[in-house]
Amino acid sequence: GDASRPSTAVHSTVPERFTRFDALPGYQQIALMREGARRLGLTDPFFKVHDGNAGATSLIDGREYLNFASYNYLGFSGDPRINRAACEAVEHYGTSVSASRVVSGERPIHRQLEQALAEAYEVEDAVAFVSGHATNVSTLGYLLGPRDLILHDEYIHNSSLVGAQLSGAKRISFPHNDADALDALLARHRGQFERVLIVIEGLYSMDGDVPELPRFVSLKRRHQAWLMVDEAHSFGVLGKNGLGLRQHFGTAAEDVDIWMGTLSKSLAGCGGYIAGCRAMVETLRYLAPGFLYSVGMPAQVAAPSLEALRLLQREPERVQRLHAISRYFLERARAAGLDTGHSIGAAVVPVIVGSSPLAARLSHALFERGINVQPILHPAVPEKSARLRFFLSCEHTRAQVDQTLSALKEVFQDSR
């Protein structure tokens, strides 16, 4: 036939469900969830609009709430000194660096931030990406390949999962925090692969528990694997100065091959970083797609995190206050007979309630009493461990915690 003539074939055999967006399974799941919430008389717990900075309290729809749903652990977001760092950066650099750093997007503030991170970790170098999620996707996706193996905790964050899938490496999960299970997997599979990477987190954000780092370090040594720790929730939180999982256990920086963290939690910004030896960091800087093919971090995002890092070092009492209020919350919650799982009482304390509808109802009832806490529902966690997840901040007071736990006791009673 004539290749330049438009085709007149009519594909009447393609079912509508393959051409309509509202037939996407995800869309239908959202519709079901909304309908379920409506039938229970609940407002949608997602996409609540906060009108200002979200700290220990937050303005939502014109009303001030006690807020336990934001990972502003050290209260740095909203700190006037950090706001000023952002404003000064905009005035100096403008609002965009207008190119990938590898071409013309490099600014002094980028290296200042990265050097400060490398110093905090006592490692050779660090590189900052514009997104925490993209940091894991690009780092795992680039560093590992089809001849390699990734072994990860079953509760690892979505960004690491997506990176592992992108890499093409063989991927096996081990039961949460179970170093013995990991040991067995390494013994069985190490020999068949070239590079092997173990991925764990410093503080698990759904459970508030930590891995036994020294055990993972000895395993990675014995089996000649690399160890990566995602410190999204542990940097700024664990250790007496907030220096993370390493300080919590008193291990050496070089015991972990790849330190990953985000700027979006304790460091009051947006973005992610990788810290470690020069060869690894340099490779990512030149070759990781999410760095190379993405715009450089805007200065007004880099500057506040750099300022937060400096303030963290100057004001370690913030970390100590965070520890004290978190432990207080955990102890009072336990004393009230609540199920806080394995939380160690550092910034993240879940209250496990056992079903998604109950978690949604309790969150709704607390919201009506001026307390904002996120319900974590199936499929984010198994149905029987649906929960309210409380994020603490160093700015929460004991009175606020007491008020919250007595409100929780009441709404629990009302729900029976």
Tell me the DSSP string of 286-353: HH-HHHHTSPPPPHHHHHHHHHHHHHHHH-THHHHHHHHHHHHHHHHHHHTT---TT--SBSEEEEE-
Smallest gap from Cβ 22 to ligand PMP, in A, equals 29
Task: Report whether 411 contacts 370 (CB < 8 A).
Answer: no
What is the Cβ-side half-sphere exposure of residue 331, based on CA atoms within 13 angstroms? 7
Q: How far is the CB of 4 from ligand PMP (least distance, A)?
A: 48
C-beta closer to ligand PMP: residue 118 or 232: 232
**DSSP assigned state of 102:** I
The residue written with tokens 């160690």 in the block is: 344
Separation of alpha carbons 303 and 351, rounded Å: 36
Supply the minimum distance, in Å, between the C-beta of residue 129 and ligand PMP. Answer: 9
Output the smallest distance, CB 232 to ligand PMP, in A.
3
Shortest Cβ 397–ligand PMP spacing (Å): 25
Least distance from ligand PMP to the Cβ atom of residue 270, Å: 6
Residue 21 or residue 47: which is nearer to ligand PMP going by CB?
A: 47
For residue 55, the minimal CB distance to ligand PMP (Å) is 18
Cα dist from 80 to 4, 266, 308, whole Å: 65, 15, 11
DSSP helix/strand/coil, 173: strand
Our CB check for ligand PMP shows the closer of 161 and 338 to be 161
Whichever of 156 and 217 has its CB closer to ligand PMP, that residue is: 156
Nearer to ligand PMP, 265 or 396 (CB): 265
Closest to ligand PMP by CB, 37 or 69: 69
Q: Taking Cα atoms as reference points, which of 132, 163, 133 lies closest to residue 150?
A: 163
For ligand PMP, which is the closer residue by CB, 274 or 319?
A: 274
Residue type, position 223, single letter: H
Q: Minimum distance between the CB of residue 259 and ligand PMP, rounded to whole angstroms?
A: 12
Q: Which is nearer to ligand PMP, 156 or 366 (CB)?
A: 156
Q: In what order do the strands lie in the sheet with 371-372?
A: 57-60, 63-67, 371-372
Tally Cβ neighbours within 10 Å of residue 222: 12
Of 70 and 159, the one with the shorter C-beta distance to ligand PMP is 159
DSSP H/E element including 197: strand 196-201
Task: Note the residues at the interface with ligand PMP (CB under 6 A).
Answer: 131-133, 136, 157, 159, 201, 205, 230, 232-233, 262, 264, 272
For ligand PMP, the nearest residue by Cβ is: 132
| DSSP string covering 347-374 | SEEEEE-S-HHHHHHHHHHHHHTTEE-E
Which of 399, 348, 333 minimizes the C-alpha distance to 73? 348
Best CA proximity match to 388, nearest among 414, 413, 365: 365
Burial class (CB in 10 A: 0-12, 13-18, 19+), 100: middle
Smallest distance, ligand PMP to C-beta of residue 160, A? 7
The total number of residues written for the chain in this structure: 416
Q: Least distance from C-beta 114 to ligand PMP, angstroms?
A: 16
Closer to ligand PMP at the Cβ: 136 or 356?
136
